[in-house]
Structure 1
Amino acid sequence: MPLFDTAAFSPCELEARLRVHRLPEVGPKRFHKLIGAFGSASAALSAPASAWRALGFPNACADARRSPEVRDGASAALAWLERPGQHLLMWDDPNYPALLAEIADAPPLLFIAGDPSILERPQLGMVGSRRASKPGLDTAKAFARSLAGAGFVITSGLALGIDGAAHQGALDVGGQTIGVLGTGIENFYPQRHRQLAAAMSDQGSAVVSEFPLDAPPQASNFPRRNRIISGLSLGVLVVEASVASGSLITARLAAEQGREVYAIPGSIHHPGARGCHQLIRDGAVLVETVEHILEALRGWQNLSPAAPTPTLPSKPRHPLLDLLLAAPHTSEALALSSGWPLPKVLAALTELELDGRISCETGRWFGRVP
């Protein structure tokens, strides 16, 4: 059954809200203004156009109320909700995620494919470049695996690059992940991640959008998508980003919403590290291992008291594997991190590789989750 409180929302009111949601030039603030002024979406749709104009709404809003496109779109959304695993959350529903409700322009409704209950669980946003380097992708996947294994839901934007690696890393260890779209769920973008999104919905995770089901990709949608990623999360980790990356918009929104911002540094010669370096100069937490994030988030219970306490993963038996599951390392970096002499590190790496517990790519070692 679709997730909405039928006692609170009659079928008529639900359909009316879906129609208001599709009106041109009606975003979250105007949606809330209409409900506040008229008491319900049904009353707003029945009100004269002059009443809408008195509230400062453009003529296009009132004129579109009875258009076939708006009525048909609402009917299609109602039909969509009848299918298994497809849900709708209103901002005044008791199941609406509490952290997201705190932001100034909280989405008035959310379409959800998958498990809606995980939106209330403690989340960490992970974002970064769409054109990420291989080391950046590997780092995102490794961090997502460890954080998901520690009980956190990984939230990102289902974009190519770092977003996709973060979602996949969480799925790899049986963890949960939320993908927030900048399009309608039925007009999926990017198409290359359609299979990933389907796997998320099928495996106890979720895909979320505030946009009408058929909404196409538009440049203005993605900053709105970003505020949901940060709004749902306790903090946002930027893995790799240029100074012009949209990931820095997410980080800025996170800071404005009172969330913690984390950034992974990189080479001063790599353009994809400059955005992270800028964030660190601006006050983001410099992150080298997953423990840096877990230590900072140990007070998350104060923000989300109803969420279950995450269980930290049991420590791998081998100390080098512990380090590699947190983040990829070169042999020399492992020697520095572990305090072991390099010959001892090399010997241990050989044993771990023969056991199939680690792998080496382009000079860097990666831990493998059993």
Structure 2
Amino acid sequence: MSAAGLSQAEAFARIRLLRSPNIGPVSYAQLLARFGNAIGALEALPELGGKGKRSYRAAPVDRIEREVESVRAAGSKYLFHDQPDYPALLGEVAGAPPIVTYRGDASLAAKPCVAMVGARNASAAAVKLARELAGELASAGWVVASGLARGIDGAAHEGALASSVGSTIGVIASGIDIAYPPQHEALQERIAQEGLLIAEQPPGTEPRGSHFPSRNRIIAGLAAGTLVVEAAPKSGSLITARLAGEAGREVMAIPGSPLDARSQGCNHLIREGAVLVQSADDIIELVSGFDGVPRSTFREPVSEFDHAPEDLADAEPADIASLLTSAPIAIDELIRQSGETAASVQLALLELEIRGQLERHAGGKVSLG
């Protein structure tokens, strides 16, 4: 389970910390910054979480022991946020998963990557186009990332796998040992054998609605750009595109007929600033020179601040409870209005979150939970 530079005890403590109640990617990073390691953070959790109305208990040791055994049994491994194989681009995304499990070739995540997503009930023409584009991108040395859903996702994976030199990354919303959708069981296994399969959820976890936006942020985070081939308005594919835009990545879309509802999402993206592309050459031209400044203007990046500042270990929590309501507010606004340091405000939010009194939202916003 452990890897170079990470002891087995610390690796186990990290998994236990992340699986504990009210701990998410941001609070996990802040706890590591404050206490230096997961072992120290776990020791402090009961006191931090016990300031509320009820006592706090971290994830049971035996539950984590069973999880670790399930990961081994599935032929998968853990990958931690600070290990060399952790995808560099994904690590730049706010709230990136601090621990994932994977099967396959982890080095694929370090190669140039394009995400390709789209409708589950895609048209035959769009499925054919997605398969061809993915094959051409893979042949040109690009890794194609997608979410293993029916329709465009599956076609993207299949097209990339059909290339003699390329490969693909599949990100799933379930545990690493659960095939979803069931009809893609063979495809998922092939990706694990020939490409890279990534899961954020613990083994044995069936996919739920809330898992899919989390999966989408990983897909968008892995890639220099996200291409939407065909999508209806308010679809999950548009969520992936929005997340890519917020992460400062390229957002691309294939235009379609306004008479087909499945094209309206792509046309909307283009109207809002996504780059219109029609061929693999268009995509490669756009993303091959990506230097962190996208040409697409779809969604301005959210305000950036350090979730785990270096001085968090020395900070005292600010008194900001009166500034919070059920309406989401940006953390940088809380810092501005309170007049406190960023570290003190972050520490106060951390304690509220551990006690189950805080909810985090997209774009660096928080509200009372």
Band the TM-score falls in, shorter-chain normalisation: 0.7 to 0.9
1:65 aligns with 2:63: no
Give the number of aligned pairs.
291
Aligned counterpart, 2:346:
none
Partner secondary structure for residue 218 of structure 1: coil
1:270 aligns with 2:260: yes
For the residues of structure 2 that align with 1:206 and 1:282, how far apart are their CA atoms? Answer: 32
Gaps of 5+ in 1: 304-370
Question: C-alpha displacement at 1:98, in angstroms?
Answer: 0.9
Percent identity, please.
Answer: 44
- Of 148-157 and 181-190, the range deviating more from structure 2: 181-190
Distance 1:12 1:106, change over 3 A: same
- Out of 191, 195, 198, the position equivalent to 2:189 is 198
Aligned counterpart, 2:271:
281
- Out of 112, 136, 147, the position equivalent to 1:146 is 136
Partner secondary structure for residue 63 of structure 1: coil
Deviations along 1:208-256, one digit per CA (max 9) or x if unpaired, are 0111122221111111111111111010000000012110010011111
1:299 aligns with 2:299: no
Q: What is the TM-score when the length of structure 1 is the normalising length?
A: 0.74
Aligned counterpart, 1:39:
36
Distance 1:242 1:76, change over 3 A: same
- Out of 27, 44, 53, the position equivalent to 2:24 is 27
Gaps of 5+ in 2: 293-369
For the residues of structure 2 that align with 1:111 and 1:146, how far apart are their CA atoms? Answer: 29
- Out of 244, 269, 275, the position equivalent to 2:234 is 244
The answer to whether the Cα contact below 8 Å between 1:185 and 1:208 also exists between their aligned partners in 2 is yes
Partner secondary structure for residue 101 of structure 2: strand
- Out of 204, 220, 225, the position equivalent to 1:230 is 220
1:49 maps to amino acid: P
1:109 aligns with 2:106: no
Deviations along 1:265-301, one digit per CA (max 9) or x if unpaired, are 111211100000000000111111111111112314x
Aligned counterpart, 2:3:
5
Question: C-alpha displacement at 1:112, in angstroms?
Answer: 0.6
Aligned counterpart, 1:15:
12
The answer to whether the Cα contact below 8 Å between 1:85 and 1:115 also exists between their aligned partners in 2 is no
For the residues of structure 1 that align with 2:144 and 2:265, how far apart are their CA atoms? Answer: 21
Aligned counterpart, 2:333:
none
1:207 maps to amino acid: L
Aligned counterpart, 2:325:
none
Question: C-alpha displacement at 1:83, in angstroms?
Answer: 5.8
The answer to whether the Cα contact below 8 Å between 1:156 and 1:167 also exists between their aligned partners in 2 is yes
Root-mean-square deviation (Å) = 2.0
- Out of 117, 129, 152, the position equivalent to 1:162 is 152
Question: C-alpha displacement at 1:33, in angstroms?
Answer: 2.1
- Out of 56, 81, 96, the position equivalent to 1:91 is 81
Aligned counterpart, 2:323:
none
- Of 223-232 and 186-195, the range deviating more from structure 2: 186-195
For the residues of structure 1 that align with 2:41 and 2:132, how far apart are their CA atoms? Answer: 49
Question: C-alpha displacement at 1:84, in angstroms?
Answer: 8.7
